[in-house]
Copies of this chain bind each other. A is one copy, B any other.
Amino acid sequence: MIEKELRNLLSGIKEGKVSIDDAVDMLEDLPFQDIGFAKIDHHRELRCGQGEVIFCEGKTPEQVASIAKVILSKDDTLLGTRASLEHYDAVKTEFPDAHYDKEARCIVLQKNSVELKGNVLVITAGTSDIPVAAEAKVTAETLGAKVQLINDVGVAGLHRLLRYGEEIRKANVIVVAAGMEGALASVVGGLSARPVIGVPTSVGYGAGLKGFAPLLTMLNSCAAGVAVVNIDNGFGAGYMAAMINSLALEDNSK
């Protein structure tokens, strides 16, 4: 397609329909528009870059609101993560339809209702991991994925987890949010034939090293099929899960 556009442009020059000056201008941006085109070609609702999602922490409510305006001028969907109520209030003034998920600390606005599809499972080891899991859930849903959340099934009480064997086996992809020792990712990895995205949380104290202990645990998982994102990065886990879920929904078999 990019080639077709390029040939059209060059034919325009040959035929005298396009001036050389205009062509130079258009060609200068070519490689970058090329990158953009490819992404639009996948009919994605959100662009793949993180730039389109607002990481609100450390920004003022005013900054968040003005970035939101820019995004919504071209996109149908707004996602603001690590947002406080103050951030939400500023956005809401401009966009009264914006919604705030308190647990996930996310601001969401979707101009058109989207049918959620597929099967993303988000699991937490303990109740303190829920905010991170909620952020993953909201992120994946904003990207069109159907998400189920199962809380508080850490390995200290294995029977709680095993009760959800069917959910684990049926999911397209599983996000495991766990702090303390983070063992849940390995255990779920051993129970599932689908990709597991581990998101270590900073839940714990002392030798938990603010999430570094579960991070190392997940990276060293003795079960294959586990990959890891940054500590407390519910957004990243949800994003990755939604990408994988999308692949599962596409028909790429041809």
A219 near B230: Cβ-Cβ < 8 Å: yes
Could you say how many copies of this chain the assembly holds?
8
CA distance A27 to B31 in the complex (A): 10
Contacts of A237 in B (CB 8 A): 227
Does A183 sit at the interface, judged by CB under 8 A?
yes
* Residues from chain B with Cβ under 8 Å of A222 in the complex: 50, 125-126, 154-156, 180-181, 183
A186 to B217, CA, bound (A): 12
In the assembled complex, the CB of A117 is this many whole angstroms from the nearest CB of chain B, namely: 7
In chain B, what residue has the closest Cβ to A82?
B205
A235 touches B224 (CB 8 A): yes
Known A16-B14, A48-B193, A224-B53; contact A215-B209, beta-carbon cutoff 8 A: no
Are B228's CB and A180's CB within 8 A? no
Residue of B nearest to A202 (CB): B206
A172 partner residues in chain B, CB cutoff 8 A: 247, 252
Residues of B close to A244: CB separation below 8 A = 195, 244, 247
Q: Is there an interface contact between B230 and A190, defined as CB atoms closer than 8 Å?
A: no
Q: Does A114 make an interface contact (CB < 8 A)?
A: no
Majority secondary structure of chain A interface residues (helix, strand, loop or mixed): helix
Given the complex of chains A and B, what is the CA–CA distance between A22 and B228 in angstroms? 41
The chain B residue with its CB closest to the CB of A158 is: B190
Complexed CA–CA distance, A186 and B170 (Å): 26
Q: Which residues of B contact A30 (CB under 8 A)?
A: 27, 30-31
Q: Which residue of B lies closest to A251 (CB)?
A: B251
Residues of chain B lying within 8 A (CB to CB) of residue A36:
159
**CB distance A32 to B159 under 8 Å?**
yes
A7 interface hit (Cβ, 8 Å): yes
In the complex, identify which listed stretch (A70-78, A87-95, A103-111, A161-169) lies at the interface while the others stay far away: A161-169
A157 contacts which of B23, B49, B152, B162 (Cβ < 8 Å)? B49
- In the bound complex, do residue B14 and residue A20 qualify as a contact, i.e. CB atoms below 8 Å apart? yes
In A20-63, which residues have CB < 8 Å from any B CB? 20, 23-24, 27, 29-36, 38-39, 41-42, 44, 48-51, 53, 58-59, 63
Determine the chain B residues whose CB is within 8 A of the CB of A181 once the complex forms: 182-183, 186, 216-222
Known: A10-B20, A156-B189, A190-B155. A227 touches B227 (CB 8 A): yes
Given contacts A58-B128, A213-B217, 5 further A-B contacts (CB under 8 A): A34-B165, A48-B192, A156-B190, A224-B239, A228-B229
Counting from the closest, the 8 A-B pairs by CB-CB distance are A206-B231, A32-B159, A183-B183, A227-B227, A156-B223, A213-B216, A181-B220, A156-B190
